[in-house]
Amino acid sequence: MIVQQIVFIVLLLATAFCFTKRIAFIRGNILSGRAEKLNDQPARRWKYMALYALGQKKMFKRIVPAVFHFMIYSGFIIINLEIAEIMLDGILGTHRLFVSVLGPGLYGTFISIFEVLAVLVILACLVFLARRWVLRLKRFFGREMTRWPKLDATLILVIETVLMTFFLSMNTADSLLQDMGYGHYHEAGFFLVSDSLKTLFSSLDAGTLVFIERFGWWAHIVGVFAFTIYITYSKHLHIFLAFPNAWYTRFKSSGKISNMPEVAREVKAMFDPSYQPEENAATPDRFGAKDVTDLSWKSIMDAYSCTECGRCTSECPANLTGKLLSPRKIMMDTRDRSDELGYFIKKSGGEKKEDGKSLLHDYISMEELDACTTCQACVEACPVSISPLDIIIELRRYLAMEESKVPSEWALMFGNIENNGAPWQFSPSDRLNWKDEA
Ligand code: SF4
Ligand code: SF4
């Protein structure tokens, strides 16, 4: 037993190390963005998080996927309570430690609830796999859904199904061993699902059952450890990040595009000679965003929270009319670029330098940005409180203000506003000519 305990503790520490390292890396990438204050109204923020992250309010706009998603989500959270017992058993070398605390009756009730949830998780995973690969729903495909994102989405459903199967087979073998009174397999109560699966293993001898139980136990926990690390490289990071991402949501009114304070200052000074800019008002190194570090930290956290569900793209009028723009791609590109830059900085010993690439142009093209109508449909559709539009606007601002790259119609309009104080090509002195013609 002592060897098993040592192996378990080594695996646990290795998992904790890899997980913490990767989370620290992602945190560093998020914090490399521009500062933005988003911690006002804490009570409203807790309420928003409870409704939109815990309660998944936006998911329920589409009831069928919402119900199946809720099955996986609640199953994932509640069944993981079982992990607490597995951890303690692994460290202390005990077997079903909580039976001695709860008694077989209550313990069996908890395990029965976990087992029913495990069956629901398997069912929901199979439905999601069928939606993806049999029904081939359009929003799961698209230009940005290359090999890895598709594999990632499939892998996660398969892994969850396999983990739940190990959990059920472990309990079934354990239950039979309890009936035999074999070794340390003491009475642990009635297990609703695995007790009804006993006939599958009833012809097996005790040695084989012990093998199945031990294999199920180790495979389940090693799978959970591997899954914990894998999640941090996967779109499934949203399991964790959906919560802070909802808490730090921007409470601006729908459709409001924030001013750039540094530009607003200039305009105010032009229109009002008595205007005094506030003290310490700094001019930024760059107007808008060329790379991820020019974006707000919230936009980078948005990118790491994206589930790649494609709801935004499926509602985007630009995408629906065949344009190159896909708001999901904007988020995936931002995350991938953040990772790339983060690795580069890490390799350079943590020194903040440029690697000669940028989010704009290397990942996201002008053609994509120009296609956006700023309609907000993507923001409204996103179940994880993400705004692809905020990133699009910042990139566009850089294009317009730093590279003067705008569609020719816009350039004409900008020139007119600058020279004539209006978007039209008329001199301000002709503004009242209409009354003479009337
Ligand atoms: S705001 Fe832009 S990206 Fe979002 S749905 Fe509208 S057109 Fe598409
Ligand atoms: S931005 Fe939101 S809606 Fe779009 S793919 Fe990501 S999670 Fe889904």
Rounded to whole angstroms, how far apart are CA atoms 153 and 148? 9
Ligand 1 pocket mutation pick from 299, 321, 376 by most atoms within 8 angstroms of CB: 376
Q: Which backbone phi and psi does 296 adopt, to 5 degrees? A: -65, 150
Q: In angstroms, what is the span from residue 422 Cα to ligand 1's centroid?
A: 26
CB 154 within 8 A of CB 132: yes
Q: Which residue has the tokens 């739940």?
A: 164
pLDDT of residue 1: 65
Structure-token pair, residue 285: 């190194």
Is residue 91 included in any domain, yes or no? yes
More confident residue, 292 or 429: 292
CA distance 114 to 120: 10
pLDDT the model gives residue 406 = 85
Q: pLDDT value at position 49?
A: 95
Q: Of the ranges 93-97, 271-275, 405-409, which one carries the lowest mean pLDDT score? A: 271-275
User: Per the domain annotation, does 434 fall within a domain?
Assistant: no
Please, which residues bridge with residue 360 across strands? 364
* pLDDT band at residue 388 using 50, 70 and 90 as cut-offs: very high
211: in domain: yes
Enter the pTM of the model. Answer: 0.88
- Give the separation between CA 343 and CA 402, rounded to whole angstroms: 27
Q: Counting atoms of ligand 2 from 1, which one is nearest the CA of 313?
A: 4
pLDDT for 12: 95
385 Cα: distance to centroid of ligand 2 (angstroms): 9
Mean pLDDT within 380-395: 94
**How far, in Å, from the CA of 300 to the mean position of ligand 1?**
18
216 and 307 part of one domain? no
Both 335 and 407 in one domain: the answer is: yes
Q: If phi over 0 gives left and psi between -120 and 50 gives alpha, with beta otherwise, what is residue 373? A: alpha
Q: Which residues pair with 33 in a beta bridge?
A: none
Please state the domain count of the chain: 2
Task: Assess whether 97 and 184 both reside in one domain.
Answer: yes
Residue type, 325: L
**Rounded distance from Cα 392 to ligand 2 centre (Å):** 14
- Count Cα neighbours of 122 within 13 Å in the Cβ-side half-sphere: 13
206 and 306 co-located in one domain: no
Residue nearest to atom 8 of ligand 1 (CA): 316
Same domain, yes or no: 186 and 241: yes
Same-domain pairing of 84 and 212: yes
Whether pLDDT at 21 is above 90: yes
Residue 243 shares a structural domain with residue 299: no
Q: Which atom of ligand 1 is nearest to the CA of 319?
A: 8
pLDDT at 438 over 70: no
Name beta bridge partners: 318: none
Longest dimension (CA), the chain: 105
Ligand 1 centroid to Cα of residue 367, in Å, is: 13
User: Which ligand has the nearest atom to the CA of 303?
Assistant: 2
Q: For residue 66, how far is its CA from the centre of ligand 1 (angstroms)?
A: 23
Output the residue whose Cα is nearest ligand 2's atom 3.
Answer: 382
- Distance from C-alpha of 385 to C-alpha of 202, rounded to nearest angstrom: 50
Ligand 1 pocket test, candidate residues 320, 326, 373, most atoms within 8 A of CB? 373
Q: State the SS3 of 133-201.
A: HCCCCHHHCCCCCCHHHHHHHHHHHHHHHHHHHHHHHHHHHHHHHHHHCCCCCCCCCCCHHHHHCHHHH
Q: Assess contact for 384 and 288: CB atoms under 8 A.
A: no
Closest ligand to residue 393's CA: 1
312 lines ligand 2 (CB under 6 A): yes
Range(s) of the domain holding residue 312: 261-267+285-419
Q: Is the residue at 278 inside a domain?
A: no
> Is 404 contained in some domain?
yes
Check if 308 has its Cβ closer than 6 Å to any atom of ligand 2.
yes
Q: Which of 134-143, 274-283, 410-419 shows the highest mean pLDDT?
A: 134-143
Residues with CB under 6 A from ligand 1: 316-318, 325, 327, 372-378, 388-389, 392
For the CA of 381, the nearest atom of ligand 2: 3
In a domain, 115, yes or no: yes
Cα 19–Cα 23–Cα 29 angle in degrees, nearest 5: 150
Whether 437 maps to a domain, the answer reads no
Atom of ligand 2 nearest to the CA of 310: 5
Greater confidence (77 vs 239) lies with 239
In this structure, the answer to whether residues 363 and 218 fall within a common structural domain is: no
Q: Based on the domain organization, do 317 and 237 belong to the same domain?
A: no
Residue 190 sits in the same domain as residue 312: no
Contact 188, 99 (CB under 8 A): yes
Q: Which ligand is nearest to the CA of 376?
A: 1
**Computed from CA positions of residues 86, 89, 94, 98, in that sequence, does the dihedral angle turn out positive or negative?**
negative
* Range from 78-82, 226-230, 427-431 carrying the lowest mean pLDDT: 78-82
Q: Are residues 208 and 141 in the same domain?
A: yes
Is the CB–ligand 2 distance for residue 310 below 6 Å? yes
**Ligand 1: which residue has its CA nearest to atom 4?**
378
Q: How far is the CA of 311 from the centre of ligand 2 (A)?
A: 6
Stretch 173-200: mean pLDDT, rounded? 89
CA-closest residue to ligand 1 atom 2 = 372
Average pLDDT of the chain is: 90
CA of 55 to the centre of ligand 1 (A): 26
Angle at 381 between CA 376 and CA 386, to 5 degrees: 75
Residue 183 lies in a domain: yes
For position 351, which CATH number holds? 1.10.1060
Ligand 1 centroid to 377 CA: how many Å? 6
What is the Cα–Cα distance from 90 to 185, expressed in whole angstroms? 15
Mutate to test the pocket of ligand 2, among 306, 319, 332 (most ligand atoms within 8 A of CB): 306
Per-residue pLDDT for 279 more than 80? no
Do 201 and 65 reside in the same domain of the chain?
Answer: yes
